[in-house]
Amino acid sequence: MHFSLKLIGEGKTYKEVQKIIGCSAKIISNALKWRAKPETRGRKRKTTIKMERRITRMAKAQPMISSRMIKDSLELPVSTVTVRRHLCEANLFTRIPRKVPLLKKRHVQKRLQFAKEHINWPKEKWRNILWTDESKVVLFGSKGPPPYPLSRSPAVPHIKNQKHTPGTTLH
């Protein structure tokens, strides 16, 4: 069918294309109709392609900017929800920055000193170090609230308090 569309584009009539390809004029006309209408569903978009590019560009340039600030600075005639929806379509999702302690000059100097002192350590020595900033290790106790509601009634007699130990009876 693409060949027939090309021939029609060159100025040939349906009858001429029909003889060249060997199909009916109705098939050629249907192919032209099918190509001419792009499929559109739903409400017409309020944002133009140019607006969407500007939203994306601004969000990439300033990752911590809010949707309201983008809308106000670009003077867009759409809601902040529309701006957020477009950012999600552009794979720019909301992120909350991690809270980290502020490093003072003293902390930076101590870290640098530690690095210089331990620069020649072999890998075997580094394997014996427990890096506490990587994962939380809980040997006993709780990792958070239990997955079930706690009851204070005597109907729940057992609560586990240590790993791999039988439950203890509450009185």
Per-residue b or e along 78-108, where b marks 16 or more CB atoms closer than 10 Å to that residue's CB:
beeebbbebbeeeeeeeeeeeeeeeeeeeee
Provide the 8-state DSSP code for 110.
H
Sorted by where each begins, the domain ranges of the chain are 2-36, 46-119
Helix runs in the chain, H state only: 2-9, 14-21, 25-36, 49-61, 67-74, 80-89, 105-117, 123-127
Whether the pLDDT of residue 16 is over 70: the answer is: yes
Please name the CATH architecture into which domain 46-119 falls. Answer: Orthogonal Bundle (1.10)
Predicted local distance difference test score (pLDDT) of residue 143: 66
Each residue's pLDDT tens digit, 37-87: 566 778 888 899 999 999 999 999 988 888 999 999 999 999 999 999 999
What's the CA gap between 100 and 136, in Å, rounded? 16
171: confidence class by pLDDT, cuts 50, 70, 90 = very low
What six digits make up the tokens of 24? 């009916």
**Mean pLDDT, residues 83-112:** 86
* One-letter amino acid of 88: C
What's the CA gap between 12 and 4, in Å, rounded? 9
